Structure 1
Amino acid sequence: MNINATLILQAIVFAILVWFTMRFVWPPITKALDERALKIADGLAAADRAKSDLATANKRVEEQLAQTREESTKRLADAEKRAQTIVDEARVRANDEAAKIIAAAKADADQQVVRAREALREEVAALAVKGAESILRREVNAGVHAELLTRLKTEL
């Protein structure tokens, strides 16, 4: 065989191989590569969306945490104010109750002083009657001299 014929024949076989490859082999490979590139692009887009969704969710979580902290701080402040109000109310009630008890004790003491004075007047009147009886050496009738004894009690 001649080298020129071999080269020409090899060139024809190569051209047929190129044509066959371009016609039947290359389109499925290109299609598969395009589908793979599309899947990768979709995956990257999904990853970007997921990343942005994650950033949005993190931002929302931070906002909710800040709001929750603010609410808890507010509730603690309200609870402290309420506790202080309760303590103040209890203090006022205790002071009022103490004032009532003191007033009752003073009234009771005043009544006891009045009773003691009355009892003392009675005893002084009885002693005065006994003293007058001793002086006069006769018995003084308390019923007869009631007005005199009453005047004596008021003077004492």
Structure 2
Amino acid sequence: MNINSTLFLQAVVFGILVWFTMKFVWPPITKALDERAQKIAEGLAAADKAKSELASANKRVEAELATSRNETATRLADAERRGQAIVEEAKAKAIEEGNKIIAAAKAEAEQQSVKAREALREQVAALAVKGAEQILRKEVNPAVHADLLGRLATEL
């Protein structure tokens, strides 16, 4: 065999191999590579989109937290004010009840004082009648002298 014919045959076989590879082998490989590149690009785009959505969600969460903190602080302040109002109201009611109790006690003491005075007047009147009996040495009839004894009791 001649080196030229071998070289020529090898060149033809190489050409057929190149043509076969370009026609049947290369398109599926490039298609798979393109699909893989597209999937990677889609994954990167989705990651960027998720990152921006996460940042947006974090901003919304921070805003909601700030709002809830403000709302909580407002509610706590309102509750504290309401508690102070309830305490003040209870103090006022207690003072009012205390004043009522004191007034009732004073009125009762005044009534008892009046009753004691009346009882004392009756006792003094009875003693005065007994003293007059002793002085006059005769019995004083309370039914007969009721007017006189009544005036005496009022004077005492």
Distance (Å, rounded) in 2 between the aligned partners of 1:103 and 1:144 = 43
Using structure 1 for the length normalisation, give the TM-score: 0.85
Task: Give the Cα–Cα distance (whole angstroms) in 2 for the partners of residues 77 and 2 of structure 1.
Answer: 106
Choose between structure 1 and 2 for higher RCO, CA contacts under 8 A separated by at least 6 residues.
Answer: 2
2:73 aligned residue: 73
Which consecutive residues of structure 1, in runs of 5 or more, have no partner in the other structure? none
Partner of 1:23: 23
Q: d(CA) in 2 for partners of 1:75 and 1:26?
A: 71
Listed as ranges, the matches of 1:93-108 within 5 Å are 93-108=93-108
Corresponding residue number in structure 1 for 2:130: 130
Write out aligned runs for 1:2-81 (5 A).
2-81=2-81
Deviation at 1:105, TM superposition (A): 0.6
TM-score by length of 2: 0.85
Per-residue Cα deviation, 1:7-47 (whole angstroms, up to 9, x for no partner) = 44433333333233222222221111111111111111111
The range that moved more, 27-36 or 71-80, is: 71-80
Alignment partners' CA distance in 1, 2:100 and 2:81: 28
2:155 is aligned to 155
The corresponding residue for 1:120 is 120
Quick one: distance in 1 between partners of 2:95 and 2:104?
14
**Which 10-residue stretch deviates more, 146-155 or 111-120?**
146-155
**Is residue 84 from structure 1 mapped to residue 63 from structure 2 by the alignment?**
no
The alignment partner of 2:76 has SS state of: helix
Q: Equivalents in 1 of 2:40, 2:151: separation in Å?
A: 124
Q: Which runs of 5+ in 2 are unaligned?
A: none
- Provide the alpha-carbon RMSD of the alignment: 2.0
Aligned AA (1:144): V
SS in 1 for 2:139: coil
Per the TM alignment, residue 62 of structure 1 is displaced from its structure 2 partner at its CA by: 2.5
**2:97 is aligned with what amino acid?**
E
* Whole-Å separation in 2 of the counterparts to 1:73 and 1:39: 49
